[in-house]
Structure 1
């Protein structure tokens, strides 16, 4: 929409407080009501309109140009056979420190496709539904029914594999997984729990929880049998965290670690279900 925020404010004020004579200027209407209305809306119409300009953004990494991370991205987009399908919760689009744009900048567009939404169906997302029905599709989501990706027997001599990754907080990802039946069609896989997140500027439920970028990096290194892929994709994430820490950000320990150390600052929940979740974090049980 081309209208600036300032224009919208001016229109809403004039529409709401206009007199019965539409051609009469707003400041005249205030004068007719009396000079004692010095703080009236008429004076607002004479104030200069401030236009908030967004900082120039890098077209590749999606970051403001002053903090561009392109020097840390692969010089050329990585050549991989595996296709990643990122199903993203709408709330992630507004997060400043999200990692999916960095992932997309590392791969070619046909190898990293993003679908935004909470619910997906054949009418609105025929491509995603077809991918879920493909026997060569895996979905990365931990659980009792998930097999470690490192242990999965992959036939890389035939067609390429697809991997679906849910992008959102852990509660959002859980909701999306259980409310979309099509996500239970592919083979469910998980990553080795010994991995530890390097995304230290955002709080995770447990030490084993990884960001979307980290999940993708490890997954591709396993699928492509190339450890260098993991290092190349994680490089911009490390640079992002380093920059944020240098400019006042704090290291965020996982909720599990804070609870174990007795340093969890927030009030403990009163809801029994949430309390049990906290207990499972401390006892290191499955979330």
Structure 2
């Protein structure tokens, strides 16, 4: 009798542990849990510019909350290449060695081409017929390391812009005022390329998946009935005036001095 009761308790304990350890079902397209899948908000744009997202391995591992993967989903003419040193990366070098391409790096620099201050004729002439725009997706320290190691990226002409908006990525502490996530940076670049008559796509819905992802995260953090509830979250998700010196994210914009 006692053995039967013990076996039953062990069985119940095993079932309970299995339920606790049961992984959440994930969407293999947007990488989010199925309960917060954003695929129905994805509306891929067709662009003349090809966006090559060079993603640091650390960013790749946390891609369900990162925006690099989301940016890829929103752009038909784009791809992700994961790595740190791209000097001998075959795919990157194939793009760079294609004589029909004009390759650029979206990154601040002393002699960069600032899209925000150039007129449409200058932008159109500079970008050429088949622009390929490389984007470093990782934290600022990681992005700097990627560029330092990747000798083939160091010689590229750099493109940047003056940012005047605040990031909507309020669930993460910003490194500096006016810093943007990868998807917000690409959104800004697309609008500037439209002004330069390089692009003709409609961008008004480009950030919707990003906004929905933020809304899902906030709902979980502010919902007392959810396991991710954060009692102090309502006080933390406000415009921030103090910024970390080290960052969990990177952004690309022209830094004013």
TM-score (norm: length of structure 2): 0.70
Contact 1:137 1:162 survives alignment (8 Å): yes
Larger radius of gyration: 1
The corresponding residue for 1:83 is 50
Contact 2:102 2:127 survives alignment (8 Å): no
Aligned residue among 169, 189, 198 for 1:219? 189
Q: CA deviation at 1:230?
A: 3.6
Q: 1:228–1:136: structure 2 CA closer, same or farther, 3 Å change rule?
A: closer
Q: CA deviation at 1:228?
A: 6.3
Pairing 1:55–2:24 present: yes
Q: 1:156–1:71: structure 2 CA closer, same or farther, 3 Å change rule?
A: farther
Q: CA deviation at 1:89?
A: 0.9
The corresponding residue for 2:252 is none
Q: CA deviation at 1:285?
A: 6.1
The corresponding residue for 2:131 is 161
The corresponding residue for 1:242 is 215
Q: Report 1 or 2 for greater relative contact order, CA contacts < 8 Å, sequence distance ≥ 6.
A: 2
Q: CA deviation at 1:140?
A: 0.5
Pairing 1:94–2:64 present: no
Contact 1:199 1:241 survives alignment (8 Å): yes
Q: CA deviation at 1:253?
A: 5.2
Aligned-partner Cα distance in 2 for 1:143–1:63: 35
Q: CA deviation at 1:229?
A: 4.0
Which runs of at least 4 in structure 1 moved beyond 6 Å after TM superposition?
A: none
Query: Where does 1:208-287 land on structure 2 (aligned, <5 Å)?
Result: 208-225=178-195, 229-248=202-221, 250-251=236-237, 257-258=241-242
Q: 1:156–1:146: structure 2 CA closer, same or farther, 3 Å change rule?
A: closer
The corresponding residue for 1:128 is 92
Gaps of 5+ in 2: 1-12, 222-232, 247-254
The corresponding residue for 1:115 is 81
Aligned-partner Cα distance in 2 for 1:158–1:146: 16
SS in 1 for 2:164: coil
SS in 2 for 1:189: strand
Contact 1:218 1:230 survives alignment (8 Å): no
Q: CA deviation at 1:164?
A: 0.5
SS in 2 for 1:154: helix
Q: 1:228–1:234: structure 2 CA closer, same or farther, 3 Å change rule?
A: farther
The corresponding residue for 1:66 is 35
Q: CA deviation at 1:65?
A: 0.9
Contact 1:133 1:185 survives alignment (8 Å): no
TM-score (norm: length of structure 1): 0.64
Q: 1:153–1:285: structure 2 CA closer, same or farther, 3 Å change rule?
A: closer
Aligned residue among 187, 197, 201 for 2:157? 187
Q: 1:213–1:234: structure 2 CA closer, same or farther, 3 Å change rule?
A: same
